[in-house]
Amino acid sequence: MKVGIDSIAFDIPKIYLPITTLAENRNIEADKLIKGLGLHKMSFLDVHQDVVTMASNAALKLIQQENLNPAEINRIYVGTESGVDSSKPVASYVISNLESVLGERSFKNCDVVDLTFACIGAVDALQNCLDYIRANPSKKAIVIASDNAKYDLNSTGEYTQGAGSIAMLVTANPRILSFSNDVGVGTEGVFDFFKPRRNFTKAEALQLENNPEWNGVLENDINLYKEQPVFDGQYSNQCYISRITEAYEHFKTESHQHGKLYEKWASILMHLPYCFQGRRTFIEIFAKENPELLEAQDGETLKDKMRALTKSPEYTNLVNETIFPSEIASGQIGNIYTGSIFLGLLSTLCHHLKEDTNLTNITFGFIAYGSGSKSKVFEGIVNEHWQKQIEKVKLFEALATCKPIDFSTYEKLHKKELKQAVVAPKNEFYLDKIEKENPVLVGARYYKFA
């Protein structure tokens, strides 16, 4: 029995900052970001948007696109590392929003939960739901990846920001992509990228003595949560390479395959924290699989030979054929954490639809990564009705309608100083208010559809 992705939808902000604008204002050579990293645009959340609105919009598009009855949907599992609450999951907000449009209590029997493991959480959610459908072939599940990749102003991660949501319908006998049971895993607990609770005493933060009550905080320590992570870019890149290499080798063992696995993959889908991350890191696996080719490269040191191998026709041809299609949307949107690997999938399918490529029964290789750290490697086979399903999505058309913002607007949005939306919400969910007065509802987030 085949199990996999039957349909797919997405939601992204309607505004973006041109990378050239960021480069100019940060005194960075634009070509270093454009030609070096593949970046062109950086999607950014408007005043009324967050991970809940994007997840809800993507889910509603999926349901309406496929004319689904809410009673048919047995699970909505969300992968995110941008949760808006430490207890109440994004998924519970999503069903509440969907019920406001599709009918009161229409999802009362739907199982919902969030899964968090940095950028691999949505892959975990997908595989959990695949197992559920294998055990219950008549059921349907929706997996949503929704994230806001936000970094500190003037940080080395600033130009990799982005936001977006991908929603996927998981069923038996899917029309787009079916997955094998085998999964390779590589895991190690590290601090390459994380979002800690940062503690300050009242004396340090507020210059208050004797621990008086402050805004309902009775403890002497004040916990500060930031959307922006603590990270070490160079170390994180090393962890990325180590984990994907381990998972790739483990997948060979689990699937009882030998030789160069990538040679059977028509497309290589990887987590893309920036557009060219995949091509820059897969070279490590390529070199390991081709030791003779590596040795034949010019250069005295291993580093020299690796650099030459990156530019070799064998590797550049592989990149252009199997990795490039997944980069197209990434360069126009930016990093969307848990959704980036699925954005790459959608970008690849939309590209090949445009090129009228015959992908039926072709194998795709997936190489996922989440900081902290874990990688998973698995395979999917494209099914015969993929074109009709992808025709509905209109990814590249949507990207063409997004509007650029100037640098001042970007900084005000980043600092949450802007009060009025740059683009007013239309046919979408939006954040209406956050409760500040009712003591039993302080912090509750309320959404509307306009």
What are the tens digits of pLDDT across the range 355-390? 999 999 999 999 999 999 999 999 999 999 999 999
CA distances in angstroms from 69 to 66, 102, 103, 201, 392, listed in the order given: 9, 9, 10, 51, 19
Confidence category of residue 216, pLDDT binned at 50, 70, 90 = confident
Q: If pLDDT is split at 50, 70 and 90, which confidence band does 6 have?
A: very high
Structural domains of the chain, ranges and CATH numbers in brackets:
3-192+232-449 (3.40.47.10), 197-227 (no CATH)
The pLDDT, as a whole number, for residue 170 is: 98
- What pLDDT was estimated at residue 65? 97
Q: How much is the average pLDDT of 133-140?
A: 98
Per-residue pLDDT of 288-299, as tens digits, reads 999 999 999 999
pLDDT at 206: 81
Residue 210 has pLDDT above 90, yes or no: no
- pLDDT the model gives residue 419: 92
Phi, psi of 269 (to 5 degrees): -105, 120
In the prediction, which pLDDT does 23 show?
Answer: 98
Per-residue pLDDT reduced to its tens digit, 80-106: 999 999 999 999 999 999 999 999 999
Q: What is the pLDDT of residue 215?
A: 84
pLDDT number for residue 218:
85
Q: What's the pLDDT band for 204 if we cut at 50, 70, 90? A: confident
For the chain, give the mean pLDDT: 97
Q: Residue type at 291?
A: P
In this prediction, residue 202 carries a pLDDT of 82
> Looking at residue 221, what is its pLDDT?
87
Total count of residues recorded for the chain: 450
Higher-confidence residue of 219 and 144: namely 144
* 251, two tokens: 């997948």
263 close to 290: Cβ distance less than 8 angstroms: no
**Across 424-445, average pLDDT:** 96
Q: Which two tokens stand for residue 111?
A: 């199982």
